[in-house]
């Protein structure tokens, strides 16, 4: 579907000098000052104007005291998930946290004991590993299987790992970061049936759910079956969708009362209560008035993806795009270049790029790089020109 673009996503917004993690901390993280960063998962676009307008009203008011949400906030959030994902939630299910990673860590503490094993599916978003290991739990992965350029779940291995390691907690990434899978309903159903059989709690990180490409559909894990509601913690946030990560607000939905009480206790133990005022205001504004902006953003991102696909095909056929079904993060396979892990990182440095090395997503990510395409087209074009120059220099 084509849209008449009302918003200027080609605008290059200067982010240096703003305390921006992506642009301002290259030197501190061992990179050159002039590196072109396409790593951390936020966008180089201004958020929806309605969000900025609401935040400006708060700034003009001038008081930033303790705050919380009321019925209109829940109506905005629940309305979004009803309209977009046909999922109806109840007010008592909602627990607000400052971020999804915070929620993942709280869930690890809530549902497991020190020394317990937690299941993930690598290659996967690296904080999954961090929140497990930093809380003195053990990690086991039922690795995704790359077959004909497409990642699949090995369900036999998945169930075997649950039995062998007496798993009580599984962290699901849906849509999947970094491989871009949008799980089909039957895949989620099969995961859920196995987890329900063994009473495994499923914490589903669905932060990228609003970014799904044509021909695919996101299904909230808890919506697939009433039984799954009993074992699931659904992690949502407006942060990726509307570029609000710095406002630190996430909406965690837990239908089962016992699971919810355990989670709330873990949050309380961290000393956390109200989320920040700006996060509440930004989230509500985004869900109430941000839809038109998001539709045009998604069209722009799809065009960015098309650019990358064609550029690789015509100029860098040695680098394979793992075709994403969702997210604004792409997963590139550099395997045909025949480089070792250190050699590949040297190539990326030579190209003057700052990417997320595949190895940080697990051993199965070695030889891959994750690239954020949520930036103006000119930025993306420059990045791939630099990459081509570095690859050509290998010959």
Mean pLDDT of the chain: 97
pLDDT of 220 above 80:
yes
Per residue in 320-375, pLDDT tens?
999 999 999 999 999 999 999 999 999 999 999 999 999 999 999 999 999 999 99
Provide the CATH topology of domain 52-289: 3.40.640
Top-level class of domain 21-47+291-392: alpha beta
Q: Which pLDDT score, from 0 to 100, does residue 395 have? A: 73
pLDDT of 2 above 80:
no
Count of alpha carbons within 13 angstroms of residue 6, beta-carbon side: 9
Q: Which pLDDT score, from 0 to 100, does residue 5 have? A: 79
Q: Which pLDDT score, from 0 to 100, does residue 3 have? A: 56
Give 188-193's long-range contacts (Cβ < 8 A, gap of 24+): 188/219, 188/221, 188/224, 189/224, 189/225, 190/153, 190/155, 191/153, 191/155, 191/158, 191/221, 192/221, 192/224, 192/225, 192/227, 192/228, 192/231
Q: Which pLDDT score, from 0 to 100, does residue 37 have? A: 98
**Bridge partner residues of 205 (DSSP):** 173, 235
Q: Mean pLDDT over residues 105-119, rounded?
A: 98
Instruction: Report whether 200 contacts 236 (CB < 8 A).
Output: no
- The domain locations on the chain are 21-47+291-392, 52-289
Q: Mean pLDDT over residues 179-199, rounded?
A: 98
21-47+291-392 and 52-289 share one CATH topology? Answer: no
């Amino acid at each position: 579907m084509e849209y008449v673009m009302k918003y200027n996503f080609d605008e290059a917004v200067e982010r240096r000098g703003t305390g921006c993690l992506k642009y301002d901390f290259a030197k501190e993280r061992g990179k050159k000052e002039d590196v072109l960063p396409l790593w951390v998962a936020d966008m180089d676009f201004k958020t929806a104007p309605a969000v900025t307008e609401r935040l400006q009203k708060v700034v003009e008011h001038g008081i930033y005291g303790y705050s919380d949400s009321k019925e209109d906030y829940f109506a905005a959030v629940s309305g979004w998930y009803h309209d977009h994902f046909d999922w109806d939630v109840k007010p008592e299910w909602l627990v607000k946290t400052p971020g999804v990673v915070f929620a993942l860590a709280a869930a690890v503490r809530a549902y497991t004991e020190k020394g317990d094993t937690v299941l993930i599916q690598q290659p996967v978003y690296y904080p999954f590993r961090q929140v497990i290991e930093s809380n003195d739990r053990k990690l086991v992965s039922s690795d995704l299987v790359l077959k004909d350029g497409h990642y699949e779940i090995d369900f036999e291995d998945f169930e075997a790992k649950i039995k062998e390691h007496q798993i009580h907690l599984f962290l699901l990434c849906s849509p999947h970061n970094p491989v871009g899978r949008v799980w089909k309903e039957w895949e989620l159903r099969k995961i859920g049936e196995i987890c329900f059989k063994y009473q495994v709690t499923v914490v589903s990180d669905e932060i990228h759910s609003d970014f799904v490409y044509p021909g695919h559909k996101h299904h909230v894990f808890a919506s697939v079956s009433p039984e799954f509601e009993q074992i699931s913690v659904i992690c949502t946030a407006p942060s990726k969708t509307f570029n609000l990560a710095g406002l630190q607000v996430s909406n965690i939905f837990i239908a089962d009362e016992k699971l919810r009480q355990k989670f709330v206790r873990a949050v309380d133990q961290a000393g956390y209560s109200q989320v920040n005022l700006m996060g509440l205001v930004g989230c509500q504004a985004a869900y109430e008035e941000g839809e038109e902006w998001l539709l045009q953003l998604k069209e722009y991102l799809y065009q960015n993806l098309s650019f990358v696909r064609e550029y690789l095909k015509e100029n860098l056929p040695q680098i394979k795009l793992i075709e994403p079904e969702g997210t604004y993060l792409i997963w590139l396979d550099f395997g045909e270049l025949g480089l070792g892990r250190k050699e590949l990182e040297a190539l990326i440095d030579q190209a003057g790029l700052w990417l997320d090395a595949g190895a940080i997503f697990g051993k199965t990510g070695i030889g891959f790089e994750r690239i954020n395409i949520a930036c103006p087209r000119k930025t993306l074009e420059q990045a791939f020109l630099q990459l081509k120059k570095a690859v050509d220099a290998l010959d």
